[in-house]
Structure 1
Amino acid sequence: MKYLKSFLAFEWITIIGASTVLYTRWDFPLSVCIGLVVLGVILTLYFTKKYEKKEEKKTLDNV
């Protein structure tokens, strides 16, 4: 899980940076940029919960 947390931090920096560049330099609508960030939040939460359940199942199987 320690490697996943560092990846998530890098992912968030990338998503927020890309959204900022899209809004400021390429004149994308703010709603599109916010939508990308919300999509990132949803996908991150979904895959994190899925991964945690998988790890929990492995832990329970080993006991």
Structure 2
Amino acid sequence: MKYIKPFLVFEWITILGVSTAAYIRLDFPLYICISMVLLGVVLTLFFSRRYEKKEESINSENKSEI
């Protein structure tokens, strides 16, 4: 998970920057910008938990082999 965390920081900076630029420069409605951020939250939580479960199962398999 330590290699994924810097990517998540970059992802959040990108999501917030794009939604802010869309709201300020392109005059998108606020609900569209908020929905982009919420979609980012949901996808980040889903894939990070999925990766953590996968990593735990791999670690438990390696410990049982030793």
TM over 0.5: yes
**TM-score normalized by the length of structure 2:** 0.94
**TM-score normalized by the length of structure 1:** 0.98
Hey, which of these two has a bigger chunk of helix by percent?
Answer: 1
- 2:41 aligned with 1:41: yes
In 1: Cα distance, 2:2 partner to 2:56 partner: 15
Q: Which structure has the bigger radius of gyration? A: 2
In 2: Cα distance, 1:27 partner to 1:57 partner: 46
How well do the aligned residues superpose, as a CA RMSD in angstroms?
A: 0.4
Which contiguous aligned blocks of 4+ residues in structure 1 show a shift greater than 6 angstroms?
none
Q: Alignment length, in residue pairs?
A: 63
Mark the runs of 5 or more structure 1 residues left unpaired by the alignment. Answer: none
In 1: Cα distance, 2:62 partner to 2:6 partner: 26
**Percentage identity across aligned positions?**
60
Which protein, 1 or 2, shows the higher relative CO under an 8 Å CA cutoff with sep ≥ 6? 2
Mark the runs of 5 or more structure 2 residues left unpaired by the alignment. Answer: none
| 1:4-49 deviation per Cα after TM superposition (whole angstroms, max 9, x unaligned) | 0000000000000000000000000000000000000000000000
